[in-house]
Amino acid sequence: MEYKDFKELILGELDQSLAAVDGQEVRALTEMILHAEKIFVTGVGRVFMMMEAFAKRLNHLGIDAFCVGDVNEPAITEKDVLIAGSGSGESLIPLGLVKKAKQFGASVIHIGSNAKSSMAPYEDLFVRIPCRTKLGLPDEIESAQIMSSLFEQSLLLLLDAAALMIMQEEQIDDVDSLWEKHANLE
């Protein structure tokens, strides 16, 4: 296979996985973000990198967002939302952070594939991206890509779509001013 074949394979898988996401769940995610005082994100490995990108995007939109574990991370409160990215919902660090956030009264959003994960009792919202995870559940979308690449790619694109929804809701229509405002800070 050549580059164009792999490109088409990846885009086809992304189209299938993102088409399977419930738009009402994404709308609920954006509403929870807009009503929170602060947003915290967590995940592990490459998933965490996608979550970091989303926190940066939220900051560009004027929303206070923090990556759990960063030096400048403030304390979480009942006015805040923790968004955990975890395909399986079984990764120890995000699971522990979800439990701790609930102890402080924060709302929890889990974006993953496994609706019956160990995170389920602590979630206020579950947004499902039904991609293959390490659990290999029967209703997950199969992928020819390496490990959980399809989940990570889908997560990033879902969160970018959510950022656009937030821009629309907040009536932020001057993308150039956002660029100018943050270009000197990066």
What backbone phi and psi angles, to 5 degrees, belong to 160?
-65, -40
Does residue 73 carry a catalytic annotation? Answer: no
Secondary structure of 66-102 as H, E, C letters: EECCCCCCCCCCCCCEEEEECCCCCCHHHHHHHHHHH
171: which 2 tokens? 């009536």
Gap between the Cα atoms of 133 and 112, Å rounded: 9
Buried b (16+ CB within 10 A) or exposed e, 38-47: bbbbbbbebb
Other Cβ atoms less than 10 A from the Cβ of 146: the count is 7
Considering the candidates 152, 169, 170, 186, report the single residue annotated as catalytic. Answer: 152
19: which 2 tokens? 């088409």
Gap between the Cα atoms of 60 and 177, Å rounded: 10
Gap between the Cα atoms of 58 and 166, Å rounded: 9
Residues annotated catalytic, as ranges: 152
